[in-house]
């Protein structure tokens, strides 16, 4: 027990240090962690680390998917729903078919069922990897929404392909009609279970006297209950978590108070940081275990097969995304689509951003060691090795070259969007107008007699005037905004110095000092990161 705890603490410390190093080197965190884990695993004397697939599916996957779904814009998800569904389901099946036929043709003794099993494992880009890598690239919101939406939903379709292929290998029989019906049922019922559980949590938040801490704890419990409930009914736990997370996120303004939302963001950021770091470093540490279990295959043979399948995965995605763009242009003549002329630049970026990750590794590791008759599972070790290489190449090679591809393609957002900072100023201006109008119409007497209410009215008027000027500067001159933000930051720094001096005074309570510090934190966050 002590050794396990020490290992976990050591890994967390390593993750923290490596993340700091990766940020200094400007390398995306998941890529740097995988490479670091890979380098550490090659050091003589390092103990072998075996990843338990149940640990990934049950402990890591629900909160990571839930967090990604929570911050996914439902408006954007619904706008791009057609292309997301096509990529999440159509591309997964297309990739699985391509991998199945190529692998069964080139790998001796590899059956078509084994090929579909491998295809189901390596076909889905990973939600965690996509979200982490995309934070470091400059992409239009539409492309980011498509990639995040696809990576949220495609795990369900790939795991269903994997499940049916595994059942066919274990039982020796496979019926396409039954598999197709089950595929739809598993996916749809997963959504139903997720929404049902989410409605229960909605009711608890909405009508029971929850406190801030209880509300945050409930948001942490929700994805696990969604996932386990769905798996108990043999439907998609992934779709349950994603659909439930999207629903609760869309209702967060109703079910959570301001304190729960502010503190919840900090809690989830820390939890996801820790889980992300552990997942990606464990991928790198798993290499020696996989290589040692290759068995009858030489390393050269395994590498050749793995690189070939990786090429199939990459090329298949590129072909599918570009073809989908032309199909969208054709079908747009007859139905309403989000983008009539997608062109070739966006599809190339979408095609190149297919990073694989933890779900693929966990699926491969969950393959049983033996068949029902007790014989060893055929080619299990080679499937594990191919999966690892696909993850490594797509995550590291494609992840590192994605910024170069974006610059080369020079993709511009086809939508005429108002810049984020201008949108924020417009929203603030509208809210101030509503507040000031309400105050003038309903509290006119109090505004004249009550000094505090009069000060509130003056402050609202001053804020509205300042916001109008700020919006005007945003529309005309960015230099004024930069100078303004620098002055605000300098003033905050002075206030922090004074607050630190007051902290040492006996007459001021620490609780009030921390409250004022939180106000300054929000103000500083606003000028440094205007949009979450």
Query: Residue 434 has which token pair?
Result: 């509503």
Listed range (78-82, 195-199, 441-445, 502-506) with the worst mean pLDDT: 502-506
Tokens 């008759």 map to which residue? 373
Check residue 290 and give left, alpha or beta (phi > 0: left; psi -120 to 50: alpha).
Answer: alpha
What pTM did the predictor assign? 0.77
Is residue 67 within 8 Å of 272, Cβ to Cβ?
A: yes
Degrees, nearest 5: CA angle 91-126-187: 60
Rounded to 10°, the helix 358-365/127-134 angle is 160
CATH of domain 2-409: 1.20.1530.20
Is residue 399 helix, strand or coil? helix
For the ranges 31-40, 86-95, 204-213, 316-325, the lowest mean pLDDT is seen at 31-40
Q: Is the pLDDT of residue 321 over 80?
A: yes
pLDDT at 1 over 70: no
Distance from C-alpha of 252 to C-alpha of 248, rounded to nearest angstrom: 6
Distance (Å, rounded) from C-alpha 513 to C-alpha 182?
59
pLDDT exceeds 70 at position 417: no
State the DSSP H helix or E strand holding residue 190, giving kind and residue range, or none if neither.
helix 176-207
SS3 assignment for 207-237: HCCCCHHHHHHHHHHHHHHHHHHHHHCCCCH
Match 């005007």 to its residue by tokens.
Answer: 472
Residue 174 has pLDDT above 70, yes or no: no
Mean of pLDDT values over 369-380: 78
Q: What is the DSSP string of 100-128?
A: HHHHHHHSTT--HHHHHHHHHHHSSPPHH
Q: Calculate the alpha carbon distances from 121 to 21, 124, 126, 272, 283 in Å.
A: 31, 7, 11, 23, 15
Q: Is the dihedral of CA 30, 32, 33, 34 positive or negative?
A: positive
With H, G, I as helix, E, B as strand and everything else as coil, classify residue 234.
coil
The more confident residue out of 76 and 8 is 76
% pLDDT > 90, the chain: 13
Q: What are phi and psi of 376, to 5 degrees?
A: -60, 145
| pLDDT confidence bin for 179, thresholds 50/70/90 | low
**Nearest in space to 50 (alpha carbons), one of 18, 111, 7, 99:** 7
Structure tokens at 114: 């084994």
Say what the pLDDT of residue 531 is.
44
For tokens 């389901």, name the residue: 89
Q: Is the pLDDT score of 277 beyond 70?
A: yes
Query: Which helix (DSSP H) or strand (DSSP E) does residue 297 occupy?
Result: none
Q: What are the extents of the domains in the chain?
A: 2-409, 420-528
Cα distances from 264 to residues 60, 73, 202, 452, in angstroms, run 18, 18, 16, 32
- The C-alpha angle with vertex 525 and arms to 29 and 218, in degrees rounded to 5, equals 70
Residues ≥6 apart with Cβ < 8 Å to 429: 464, 467, 468, 471
Nearest to 145 by CA among 245, 238, 73, 88: 73
Confidence tier at 315 by pLDDT (50, 70, 90): very high
pLDDT tens figures, 76-119? 888 888 888 888 888 888 999 999 999 989 988 888 888 888 99
Dist. CA 485–CA 145, nearest whole Å = 29
Q: Are 277 and 12 in contact (CB under 8 A)?
A: yes
For the chain, the average pLDDT equals 80
Q: What is the pLDDT of residue 178?
A: 65
Kind and range of the H or E run holding 433? helix 420-442
The pLDDT value recorded for residue 306 is 92
């Amino acid at each position: 027990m002590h050794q396990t705890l020490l290992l976990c603490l050591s890994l967390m410390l390593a993750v923290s240090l490596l993340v700091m190093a990766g940020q200094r080197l400007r390398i995306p965190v998941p890529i740097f962690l995988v490479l670091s884990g890979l380098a550490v695993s090659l050091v003589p004397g390092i103990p072998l680390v075996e990843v338990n697939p149940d640990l990934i599916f049950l402990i890591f996957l629900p909160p990571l998917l839930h967090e990604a779904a929570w911050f996914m814009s439902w408006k954007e998800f619904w706008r791009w729903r057609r292309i997301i569904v096509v990529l999440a389901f159509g591309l997964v099946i297309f990739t699985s078919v391509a991998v199945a036929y190529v692998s069964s043709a080139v790998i001796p003794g590899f059956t078509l069922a084994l090929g579909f099993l491998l295809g189901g494992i390596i076909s889905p880009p990973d939600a965690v990897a996509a979200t982490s890598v995309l934070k470091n690239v400059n992409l239009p919101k539409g492309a980011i929404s498509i990639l995040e939406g696809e990576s949220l939903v495609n795990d369900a379709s790939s795991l269903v392909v994997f499940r049916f292929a595994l059942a066919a290998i274990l039982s020796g029989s496979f019926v396409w009609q039954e598999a197709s019906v089950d595929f739809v049922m598993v996916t749809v019922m997963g959504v139903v279970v997720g929404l049902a559980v989410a409605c229960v949590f909605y009711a608890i938040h909405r009508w029971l006297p929850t406190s801030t801490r209880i509300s945050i704890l409930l948001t942490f419990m929700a994805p696990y209950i969604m996932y386990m409930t769905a798996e108990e009914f043999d439907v998609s736990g992934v779709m349950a978590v994603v659909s439930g997370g999207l629903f609760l996120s869309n209702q967060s303004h109703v079910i959570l108070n301001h304190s729960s939302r502010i503190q919840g963001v900090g809690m989830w950021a820390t939890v996801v940081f820790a889980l992300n770091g552990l997942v990606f470093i464990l991928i790198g540490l798993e290499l020696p275990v996989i290589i040692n279990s290759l068995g009858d295959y030489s390393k050269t043979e395994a590498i050749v097969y793995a690189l070939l399948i990786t090429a199939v995965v990459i090329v298949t995605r590129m072909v599918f995304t570009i073809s989908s763009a032309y199909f969208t242009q054709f079908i747009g003549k007859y139905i309403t689509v989000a983008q009539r002329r997608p062109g070739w630049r966006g599809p190339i970026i979408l095609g190149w951003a297919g990073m694989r990750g933890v779900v693929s590794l966990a699926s491969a590791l969950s393959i049983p060691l033996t068949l029902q008759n007790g014989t060893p599972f055929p080619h299990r070790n080679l499937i594990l090795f191919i999966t690892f290489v696909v993850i490594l190449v797509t995550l590291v090679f494609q992840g590192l070259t994605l910024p170069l591809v974006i610059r080369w393609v020079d993709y511009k957002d086809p939508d005429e969007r108002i810049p984020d900072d201008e949108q924020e100023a417009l929203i603030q201006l509208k809210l101030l107008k509503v507040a000031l109008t309400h105050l003038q119409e309903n509290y006119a007497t109090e505004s004249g007699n009550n000094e505090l209410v009069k000060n509130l009215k003056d402050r609202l008027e001053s804020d509205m005037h300042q916001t109008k000027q700020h919006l005007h500067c945003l529309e005309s001159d960015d230099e004024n905004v930069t100078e303004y933000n620098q002055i605000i930051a300098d003033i905050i720094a002075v206030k922090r110095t004074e607050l630190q001096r007051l902290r040492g005074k006996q007459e001021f309570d620490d609780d009030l000092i921390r409250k004022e510090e939180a106000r300054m934190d929000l103000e500083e966050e606003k000028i440094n990161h205007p949009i979450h």
